[in-house]
Structure 1
Amino acid sequence: MSDMLREAIMPYSLPDKKIYTYEDYAKLPEGAGYQLVGGEIIVTPAPGRRHQRLVLRLVKLFDDYVECKNLGEVAVAPRDVYLGPHETYQPDILFIAKDRIDISAEDKVNGAPDLIVEILSPSTAYYDLRKKYRVYEKYGVKEYWIVDPEEKSIEIYNLTDGQFHLTVRQVDAGETASSLLPGFTVHLDILFKDI
């Protein structure tokens, strides 16, 4: 356990372990910037202004579309997504289809959401692009969006035969669309305006 993590959770007397489980993670303070990735508790700082603006713009688009079409539920971090005893994440935005809404419990989402959006930041990019990518793929997330504020890009990966395939890569301008939510589009020039 890192010294920074130890200081952050000291009052919660989390045992010093090499590999943590969801039971350990659940003892941490509610609403804090923790995630359980590969049995390691990761502390992430609060997102910056640009990151927050992108989250707000995207969640408004997703939520308005999903609510209008009565397709399911949209949630925003911090919302725990339990994928296994050593994997509990807080994606920036997630969508669960109406026919699977039972995985959305009061305390956490129990299983893979249908769609996940992660907005890259310096403290989370490695996890979003590598570790979490592989776990989302393994547990069956159907569509994974990676939004890069630096590059002003969106990459969309769709799950086919148990593997993610890059189906969309749009940079700076133009329109990108979801395969999972037919008719849902994002205009990059509007999304990244003044970002």
Structure 2
Amino acid sequence: MTALTLNLNSLIKLTREQFYQLCEANPDLKLERNFQGELVIMPPTGGETGRSNVNLILQVASWNEQNQLGEVFDSSTGFTLPNGADRSPDVSWVEKSRWNALTQEQKEKFIPLCPDFAIEILSPSDSLTKTQKKMQEYISNGCRLGWLINRKKQEVEIYRPEQEVEVLTFPSTISGEDILPGFILNLQRIWEL
């Protein structure tokens, strides 16, 4: 199964609120919306991808629990990016002052900002090219650090503002740099196939 993209713009252009309501009315679908307003229907992940996602969330959440520097979000969390796209990274993190600056209503719906840190794990149903474009979109919209994890190739692509993408092959760990100070992601369980 691969992601489907629906272009409804010639029929209807959904507002942010309408898109949010569409997602609320269809909780069994994982929907995203690109900056052109096209709907992207994401298939469920397989077991290995789901297992890897949980491992990533546990590691980031454990670091955050100790440091209390922000908030960690899972793949069900929607972010409305400055370019108008609505995205849901597999794992994301928002710095505490940015999260605290939001109103309660903004916190309850799709978060109206780009996360400071985002991880996407390439599942067998994902297109590498489309996921790389999504990572670039995060960076272009204010994300300060992004990791695209390709389990099949055992590679991590590191995205940073105004820098070329760095590709690491079979790293055992990766640093959260100055965005997530002191965080070291252990990739050993991720590479287990």
Q: Specify the SS of the correspondent of 1:65.
A: helix
CA apart distance, 1:29 = 3.5
Indicate how the Cα distance of structure 1 residues 133 and 17 shifts in structure 2: closer, same or farther if over 3 A, else same.
Answer: farther
Partners of 2:67 and 2:5 in 1: CA distance? 42
| 1:17 partner amino acid | L
Matched, 1:17 2:19: no
Q: Which runs of 5+ in 1 are unaligned?
A: 7-13
Residue type matched to 2:181 in 1?
A: P
Q: Given that residues 79 and 86 in structure 2 are in contact (C-alpha distance below 8 angstroms), is that contact kept between their aligned partners in structure 1?
A: yes
Query: How many correspondences in the alignment?
Result: 179
Q: Give the distance between the partners of 1:69 and 1:88, measured in 2 at CA.
A: 28
Per-residue deviation, residues 10-65 of structure 1 (Å, max 9, x unmatched): xxxx8863754423312314232110013100111101111111110010000000
The worse-fitting range, judged by mean Cα deviation, of 171-180 and 91-100 is: 171-180
1-side partners of 2:168 and 2:5: how far apart?
A: 37
Q: Distance in 1 between matches of 2:49 and 2:189?
A: 15
Deviation at 1:138, TM superposition (A): 1.9
How far is 1:100 from its partner?
Answer: 1.1
In 2, Cα distance between equivalents of 1:20 and 1:127: 22
Name 2:49's counterpart in structure 1: 51
Is 2:20–2:109's contact at 8 Å kept on the other side of the alignment?
A: no
1:129 pairs, out of 127, 132, 156, with 132
Q: More displaced, 18-27 or 175-184?
A: 18-27
Q: Which has the higher strand share?
A: 1
State the shift of 1:173 in Å: 4.1
Match of 2:180 in 1: 181
Q: Which moved more, 1:133-142 or 1:62-71?
A: 133-142
CA distance in 1, matches of 2:182, 2:126: 30
Residue in 1 aligned with 2:88? 90
Equivalences for residues 140-159 of structure 1 within 5 A: 140-159=142-161
Q: Give the TM-score normalised by the residue count of structure 1.
A: 0.80
Name the SS of the counterpart of 1:118 in structure 2: strand
Does residue 36 of structure 1 match 2:37?
no
Tell me what 2:75 maps to: 77
Q: Is the 8 A contact 1:18 1:40 kept in 2?
A: no
Any conservation in 1 of the 2:20–2:110 contact (CA below 8 Å)? no
Q: Deviations over 1:165-195 (max 9, x none)?
A: 334x3322432111111221123223322x2
What per-residue deviation string (whole Å, max 9, x for no partner) do you get for residues 141-161 of structure 1?
A: 0001101111122222122xx
Instruction: Summarize the Cα distance change of 1:100–1:29 in structure 2 as closer, same or farther, 3 Å threshold.
Output: closer
**Are 1:111 and 2:113 matched, yes or no?**
yes
Give the unaligned 5+ runs of structure 2: none
**Contact 1:118–1:147, Cα closer than 8 Å, also in 2:** yes
Distance 1:5-1:177 versus aligned 2 partners, 3 A rule: closer
The answer to whether the 8 Å contact 2:156/2:168 transfers is: yes
Query: Structure 1 residue 118: deviation in Å?
Result: 0.6
Separation in structure 1 between the aligned mates of residue 84 and residue 98 of structure 2, nearest angstrom:
23
Match of 1:27 in 2: 21
